[in-house]
Amino acid sequence: MRILISGGRVIDPASDTDHIADVVVDAGRIVSVTRQDSVPVSGFDRIIDASGCWVVPGLVDMHVHFRDPGQEYKEDIFTGCESAAAGGFTTVCCMPNTMPVIDTPDKVRYVLEKAENACGVRVLQSAAITVGQRGKELTDFASLKKAGAAAVSEDGHSVADIKLMREALRTAAGLGIPVLDHTEQPELRDAGSVHRGAAAGLTGIPGIPEQAEEAIAIRDMLLAQETGGAVHLQHISTSGSLDLIRFAKKRGINVTAETAPHYFTLTDEDIIAGGGNKEIYHRCLSPKGVTVDTHRKMNPPLRSSADRQAVIEALMDGTLDAIATDHAPHSAEEKSRDFLKAPFGVIGLETSFAVSKTVLVDENGMTPSRLIELMSVKPAEILGCGGGTLAPGCRADIAVLDPDKEWTVPASGFRSKAENTAFAGMNVCGAVVMTIAGGRVIFEN
């Protein structure tokens, strides 16, 4: 299919492009990015008027949970891909903590083969670091990579055995695959469900200290230094972790790190449910009788306002390399439980661009190019999966975004099976107009 995307603001950080231009797509590839109106309009199957919009490389989310296999009542590969497409994402990387755990080549192939019949979003799969994620024995990284695994991860928890984690980093380095690292010391988290801060005191909910994240972050960065492995720290939420990452990068350690939109948008005090529209909050009572919102329970938890500001600054200065959603669907019944019993996690694919653009660009002055670097270029680079660019000859993965569209995040009606969004009721500015994957329109708003 031959497509002309005309008159949009083409933002391609990989080629230092940021100007009004026309993009030509043919046979699933980018043909050219040229001066506006320089391309004859005849001979196209479709002409898309992108005036007033950003035309960017398809977004890449390197941290999602599609719950398939085993918990398809929460999400499956098909609905997960539909949700991703609606969010402007053309590539996602699924975590392995499914039921059963993705720890063998056959299970990797199951996901990748099923994804071929989804809407067109490219699905990458990370495989478990240890067999069954039990922390006792490494999986066969080489055979997992051969089956198509893009990375290894123990997401959901950390590898407790320091020697085993060292061997994982060494083995992954030899194979050239990244280790996606859930940074959490379980003994320090204990029974905590929120940040150990103001909200914990007000609600009586047990708190999780910052050190639960920071202890594993520094441990695994030092292991990466010793082994030469590439470690990618997931869902970073504390200012202390950010200081440690800066320290590690100055020492030349091969570390990258991500955060999620909820960590630069909300704080621990936002778990307390306010008044207004009852649909906005998923209410239950805390041990001290304070009304709290289980849709704002995630792990790591929402942190303090100082941590939130530190995350924003780290996204600005390059300490953090990527924005990932940690899209974690749960059923309404599960999130309706008491706060201490409700599962951790929130969805995020369909709100990530709008929330990120509103908070980072509109409120904090980030350049659009830096935002797209964080949401497309760097995640693709870390995963080594290609994409993240509109360079001629590359696969035509493109998002067309309206930066000025104002809307309110709803409490329901997502393409995901789940509705556990942390952002219901938030006024945002920025929307996905169209998503093109491999030269085919897979979402149009």
Average pLDDT estimate for 78-104: 98
Strand, helix or coil for residue 60: strand
- pLDDT at position 31: 97
Where in the chain are the domains? 58-386+410-426
Nearest Cα residue to 428 out of 345, 327, 350, 322: 350
Tokens of 83: 């949700």
Indicate the range of 77-81, 270-274, 391-395, 434-438 predicted with least confidence. 270-274
- pLDDT at position 26: 97
- pLDDT at position 90: 98
Percent of the chain surpassing pLDDT 90: 96
Distance, C-alpha 259 to centroid of its chain: 8
Nearest Cα residue to 180 out of 154, 215, 207: 154
At residue 25, does pLDDT exceed 60? yes
- pLDDT at position 83: 98
**Helix (H), strand (E) at residue 360:** none
Residue type, 201: G
Nearest Cα residue to 421 out of 324, 345, 359, 308: 345
- pLDDT at position 278: 58
pLDDT 10s digits, 262-276 = 999 999 999 998 755
Percent of the chain surpassing pLDDT 70: 99
Residues annotated as catalytic are: 326
CATH topology of domain 58-386+410-426: TIM Barrel (3.20.20)
pLDDT 10s digits, 241-255 = 999 999 999 999 999
Average pLDDT estimate for 96-117: 98
* 179-181 vs 151-153, strand pairing mode: parallel
Q: How confident is the model at residue 391 (pLDDT cuts 50, 70, 90)?
A: very high
Residue type, 119: C
Q: Where are the beta strands (DSSP E) in 76-188?
A: 89-94, 122-128, 151-153, 179-181
At residue 105, does pLDDT exceed 70? yes
- pLDDT at position 41: 83
Average pLDDT estimate for 143-151: 98
d(CA 238, CA 133): 26
Q: Average model confidence (pLDDT) for the chain?
A: 96
Query: Per the confidence metrics, is the pTM higher than 0.75?
Result: yes
Average pLDDT estimate for 402-427: 97
